[in-house]
Amino acid sequence: MESASQLRKTLKDLFRSQRLGVLATYGRRQPYSSLVAFAATNDLKYLVFATTRATRKYANLSMESQVALLVDNRSNQDTDFHRAIAVTALGKAEEVKESERDRFLTLYLAKHPYLEEFVNAPTCALLKVSVDRYYMVKRFQNVMELHMRR
C-alpha cells in the first residue's frame, strides 16, 4: 500500500495530467453533476474552478456548499479497469475572497490560459473547494482516504 507521501504524489500527478473534473452539487432535493476545468494548489488543500453565476451549479452552491469533485484518468479502454485512477474530493465550495483572488487566479490561469477572458468576465465566479478528504480508487477496487487537517 502507498504511504501518505506516495498517495499525495499520485494525487498531484493526476491533477497535473487532467484538465477537467466532474463537480457534484446538490439543490432542490436533487444531485447535479457538471464538468469543470479545475486546478489544485500544491498542498492539495484547495481545488479551484470557475463558473458563471447564472448556472444551475452556482444556484445549487448558494443553497448547499458541500460538494464532491471527481477527477480521473480513464481512457475509455478495457484497461481502465485496472489502470485508471479515480479521485473524489469532498469539501466546501465558496467564492474566493478578494484578498485571495490573485493567488488562485494565477494558479488557475497557469493551467488554463485559454480561460482568461472567461474568468475575468464580471458574470464569472472563481470558486475554491476547501478539501476535507480525498478518496482515491485504484485497480478498480482499492480505496484509500487522505484526510486533510486544517
- Which residues here bind other proteins, judged by CB under 8 A? 1-5, 7-8, 43, 78-79, 81-84, 86, 135, 137, 139-149
149 close to 130: Cβ distance less than 8 angstroms: no
Q: To the nearest whole angstrom, how small is the minimum distance from the Cβ of residue 4 to other proteins?
A: 4
Of 97 and 147, which has the nearer Cβ to other proteins? 147
Q: To the nearest whole angstrom, how small is the minimum distance from the Cβ of residue 12 to other proteins?
A: 13
Q: To the nearest whole angstrom, how small is the minimum distance from the Cβ of residue 49 to other proteins?
A: 22
Q: To the nearest whole angstrom, how small is the minimum distance from the Cβ of residue 120 to other proteins?
A: 32
Of 119 and 146, which has the nearer Cβ to other proteins? 146
C-alpha 138: how far from its chain's center?
18
Of 118 and 135, which has the nearer Cβ to other proteins? 135
Between CA 26 and CA 114 the distance in angstroms is 29
Of 33 and 142, which has the nearer Cβ to other proteins? 142
119-147 in b/e form (b: 16+ CB < 10 A) is: beeeebbbbbbebeebebbbeeeeebebe
Q: To the nearest whole angstrom, how small is the minimum distance from the Cβ of residue 85 to other proteins?
A: 9
23 exposure class (CB count in 10 Å sphere: 0-12, 13-18, 19+): buried
Of 56 and 83, which has the nearer Cβ to other proteins? 83
Q: Bridge-partner residues for 51, per DSSP?
A: 125
Residue 145, amino acid: E
